[in-house]
Amino acid sequence: MYFDGVMKIPFATEGGHTDFAPRNEIEIELFRYLKNIYGHVSYERILSGMGINNLYRFLVDIKKVKINKIFDEEIKKHSQPQVVITQKALNNECTVCVDVFNWFVSLYGAESSNLALKHFAIGGVYIGGGIAPKILNFFKNKNFMNAFIDKGRFSNLVNDIPVKLILNERATLLGAAYFAFINR
């Protein structure tokens, strides 16, 4: 958001379509895997419902991690595989599914601090949407904040930025509706 002298105005963006920036060797492999499938690899291919399944498929198909075959068949057959992966992770039924979400929040933390740096959002970062509230416990572990803070010489700056998770899954829609209402 920026202040126009009268009110705060949100930035309209399509930031999810920005290029994915791998941070290590396994993420370089993930990039190559997704590039072969999609061509352009954006953060939306990773930090979304589709991304949850992409991370899972990469670990199972490319990294050959051990998986319960019955779970894998259930995930493959489901019209929304991310729902099954999420449920298995939340219930701690599937180690790979838990690994997916630990990795997912790490990637989310890295990209969140990228955006904080790009917008110099020293007042705070607020994470909204439908996925984050459902996986709150994964955001509470150290993976998100460790990745958020891992910005080399700018680590001290991002370490001081408050990060808040919006628990109302509809907050972003409510905010957009309010903004449209006051500007009609």
Instruction: Write down the pTM of the prediction.
Output: 0.91
Query: In the chain, what are the domain boundaries?
Result: 20-182
- pLDDT tens digit at each of 184 positions of the chain: 777 888 777 777 777 889 999 999 999 999 999 999 999 999 999 999 999 999 999 999 999 988 888 988 999 999 999 999 999 999 999 999 999 999 999 999 999 999 999 989 999 999 988 899 999 999 999 999 999 999 999 999 999 999 999 999 888 788 888 878 887 7
Contacts of 46 (CB under 8 A, 6+ apart): 20, 30, 34, 54, 55, 104, 107
Q: State both tokens at 138.
A: 């994964």
Strands 125-127 and 8-9: unpaired
User: Hey, what amino acid is at 175?
Assistant: G
β-strands 2-3, 8-9 pairing: antiparallel
Q: Under a CB-based contact definition with an 8 Å cutoff, are residues 31 and 20 in contact?
A: yes
Architecture of domain 20-182: 3-Layer(aba) Sandwich (3.40)
Residue reference for tokens 């790009």: 118
Owner of token pair 């498929």: 57
- Residue 11: predicted pLDDT: 73
Q: What's the rounded Cα separation, in Å, for the pair 41 and 37?
A: 9
Let me know: does 43 contact 20? Beta carbons within 8 Å: yes
What element of type H or E holds 99?
Answer: helix 95-119
Predicted local confidence at residue 68, as pLDDT: 86
Query: If 0-12 CB within 10 Å is exposed, 13-18 middle and 19+ buried, where does residue 117 land?
Result: middle
In the three-class reduction of DSSP (H, G, I as helix; E, B as strand; rest coil), residue 103 is classed as helix
| Token pair for 99 | 């690994």
What is the per-residue pLDDT for 176?
Answer: 81
Please state, in angstroms and rounded to a whole number, the distance separating the CA atoms of residues 102 and 104: 6
Sign of the dihedral defined by the CA atoms of residues 102, 107, 108, 109, in that order: positive
